[in-house]
Chain A
Amino acid sequence: MSQSLLTVAPSPHIHTELTIPQVMRGVIIAMVPALLVSVYNFGLGAVYVTGLSILFCAGAEWAICKFLLMREPTITDGSAVITGMLLAFNVPSNLPWYIILIGSLVSVGIGKMSFGGLGNNPFNPALVGRVFLLLSFPVEMTSWPKAVATWSLDGTTGATPLGILKDGLRAGETVPALMQQMPSYTDFFFGFQGGSLGEMSAFALLIGLGYMLYRKIITWHIPVTMIATVFVMTGIFWFIDPTRFASPLFHVLTGGVMLGAIFMATDYVTSPVSHKGMIVFAIGCAVLTVLIRLFGAYPEGVSFAILIMNAFVPLINKYLRPVRYGANKSRQPKVGSQQFEQGKRPVTSN
């Protein structure tokens, strides 16, 4: 080749292979086990809702780019597919198509594109859509199909474990009595419970977490801290009064804690950038979740908790900065200090 054709560019000259499309693909792969559990539990309903949601979200992003923003559609980065999947994961598997459409438009249109697209949205788009739907269609959004594999679209519906708990406690029953009506913890763990499409199985979600950690897509800080804080905090209440408060294991395995901690709170865009910030953020998500669950009007609070903490992210990023090299004065020994004099001794080890 001719020498004059050599590329000249500043260093570094190599780049990691983990780029945005790879990251997004990785997240999608990590969500597959949870989706499979859902398909096993709900049959066609899960496929139908997830498929529509992805289609609507990607379509909305494409149309907004093409006709409103007049720029190259950005759906190839894969983030719209994730928003679609996450939105589907957060709704019941028998949701009518028009509600999914509205949810998708709110998620992508208001939640993401109105701020300038990927990277600029302050709130998790899927949760924006989910909460919008929860407030607008409270009946449809809380009639959960029973977790029995059925390949027809109209199964029977029932309440979630958290719903049974909240209603029962309100009616004056005790936790141990209510637990009699619920599936076992093993069932919770593997996903034989009522609830949103993607939050069925802690087991499947943990497989996804393991995969994302292995691929170094996310770090442990947010999911582990959030789950652990929920466990500890509900544990304290449970310890104080086990008749009024359910066990920590129950709280961790039911509802959206796993889904939220692993897939929603870890969203790059809407979570803090430093490890310290991530831990504070995750603790905040967990505390709010528990407060809403135990003392609020809703049986479940993960979505609200994460959205509220999303709003604090800029503040967290501003105040919780990484430790700078050289900032720790104890690592700058003064001449004559003991640490310094260590060097003077002849090395005697071996």
Chain B
Amino acid sequence: MKNRAFHKELKTFRLGGVHPQDNKLSASAPLAQLPLPKQVTIPIIQHIGAPAKVVVQRGDTVKVGQVIAQHEGFISSNIHASCSGRIGIIEEVMDSSGFKHLAVNIRVKGDDWLETIDRTDTLVEEITLSRDEIVARVMEAGVVGMGGAGFPSHAKIKVPEGKTIDTLIINGVECEPYLTADHRLMLEKPREIIVGVRILMKALGVSRSIIGIEDNKHDAIELFEELLHEDKQIEVQPLEVQYPQGGEKQLIQALLNREVPSGGLPADVGVIVHNVGTTFAIYEAVQKNKPLVERVVTVTGKDVKQPSNFWVRIGTPVIELITAAGGLPESTGKVVSGGPMMGKAIADLEVPVAKGTSGILMIAQAETKRAEEYNCVHCGKCIEACPMGLEPYRLLLLSKAGQSEKSKRENVLDCIECGSCSFVCPSNRPILDYIRLSKTKVKKLK
């Protein structure tokens, strides 16, 4: 039964897509524990929804896993102490997007965990909790979507009223160039991820799950094929390498040939998508009672001495990761939190790692500069690239002209901001910049 993956036909999404060089420099670097930092700064909003409410005070002593900010409402998430020590200053700090949010500083002392947390490596396969208990446990553990969007996971486990879910999709695509966090996690924690998938299937009440993995991760595909070849409910589907396959909507199209309606959610077509990182976090939350206090972060770049994948405590300053990977290369012109296509350039290396930080990428000064812009030559490459079937060149013109009503009619809000249009534009036009502007204006129209 070996090599079955290669007999399976590769699937991919049908609309648009681009092929940036994948540069997975850190693919062979095993997961390593980043040494504990001296202090961590934990923002109270690392998710979509309401900010959590701080429940500790300056001077309090906290253990790892202790709640320091309580969720406010259902679409919100708990925030836990990722290190033990004493609560320092609670003030507004800048996050990776450049916005200021309230954050709790912890001066790290020792590594003292809550006793309720199972820190052993033993695999716990039996799922004893009921559906509602699973939702509650995931909510308690503060698990949010770790692919970047940061939507509270418990809200995605609870089937929305009036909807039926028939398929769970596990996103192991990792289509962003450079990033290898999900890849390494799949290689090193496959059994845990599979238990995580079963937990999600139980919670959602579905009998079918598909793990989508891009073909540049043969080892992960083979490993999961081998572990799952007896399983009749969980499929592994290899996918052609094409960006932005990891986009929820694109992955659903690739795997099921279904399309989420404009403005809708995957649940509208009977699908829920979770990232492999999130699935692992859900395993730990449900089976090990471990809240989301650490995650895998890829630290990489062409000039980085040791491209690495680290287990990092939430709130660790980015500079600590860079130092551990051999220091900031002399050539660096830009540091990106996330991948090169959708990541955010950060201005300050003290910015803390958040639940959605999948990578830290150092880009050389030479590659940082945007090339000279030319007139639009109507080559149509942006249309060819757009995975949502939009006409980016037209949206740019409408945005420049301030035509928000027309932009809305051109479905500018469907844009997933994958950056494919700006990436392929031979005239180097800042298409996505203008589309973002347009989206903001259109949202205000309502």
Q: By the criterion CB–CB under 8 Å, are B258 and A333 in contact?
A: yes
CB closest chain-B residue, reference A79: B377
Q: CB within 8 Å of A: which of B407-446?
A: 411, 414, 417, 419-420, 422-424, 426-428, 432-433, 436
Q: By the criterion CB–CB under 8 Å, are B258 and A332 in contact?
A: yes
Q: By the criterion CB–CB under 8 Å, are A13 and B336 in contact?
A: yes
Residues A324 and B262 in contact in the complex (CB < 8 Å), given A11-B344, A331-B257, A340-B270: yes
Q: Which of B229, B268, B378, B423 contacts A12 (CB 8 A)?
A: B423
Q: Which residues of the partner chain B approach A278 to less than 8 Å between Cβ atoms?
A: 380
CB closest chain-B residue, reference A329: B261
Residues A14 and B208 in contact in the complex (CB < 8 Å), given A22-B426, A119-B376: no
Q: Which of B98, B177, B258, B426 contacts A8 (CB 8 A)?
A: B98
Q: Which residues of the partner chain B approach A23 to less than 8 Å between Cβ atoms?
A: 379, 426
- Is A10 an interface residue, CB under 8 A from the partner? yes
Q: Which of A8, A273, A345 contacts B380 (CB 8 A)?
A: A273
What separation, in Å, do the CA atoms of A14 and B368 have in the docked complex? 8
Q: CB within 8 Å of A: which of B192-249?
A: 206-208, 229, 232-233, 235, 249
Q: CB within 8 Å of A: which of B1-51?
A: 4, 15, 18, 20
Q: By the criterion CB–CB under 8 Å, are A269 and B334 in contact?
A: no
What's the A-B contact tally at a CB cutoff of 8 Å? 209
- Is B320 an interface residue, CB under 8 A from the partner? no
- Is A272 an interface residue, CB under 8 A from the partner? yes
Q: Which of A16, A327, A340, A344 contacts B207 (CB 8 A)?
A: A344
- Is A347 an interface residue, CB under 8 A from the partner? yes
Q: By the criterion CB–CB under 8 Å, are A7 and B390 in contact?
A: no
Apart from A13-B361, A20-B428: 19 A-B pairs, beta carbons within 8 A? A1-B332, A11-B343, A12-B420, A12-B423, A13-B340, A13-B363, A15-B423, A117-B375, A219-B384, A275-B380, A325-B15, A325-B259, A326-B262, A331-B253, A331-B269, A343-B256, A344-B208, A345-B207, A350-B4
The contact sample of 28 A-B pairs, CB cut-off 8 A, is A3-B349, A11-B417, A11-B419, A12-B422, A14-B340, A14-B367, A16-B18, A19-B374, A20-B374, A20-B427, A20-B428, A118-B374, A119-B374, A272-B380, A322-B15, A322-B389, A323-B15, A324-B411, A325-B253, A325-B259, A332-B268, A340-B164, A340-B270, A341-B166, A343-B167, A343-B207, A343-B208, A343-B270
Q: Report which B residues bind A (CB closer than 8 A).
A: 4, 15, 18, 20, 98, 163-164, 166-167, 177, 206-208, 229, 232-233, 235, 249, 253, 256-262, 264, 268-270, 328, 330, 332-336, 338, 340-349, 361, 363, 365, 367-368, 370-371, 374-380, 383-384, 386-391, 393, 411, 414, 417, 419-420, 422-424, 426-428, 432-433, 436
Q: What 3 pairs across the A-B complex have the smallest Cβ distances?
A: A119-B375, A12-B419, A343-B166
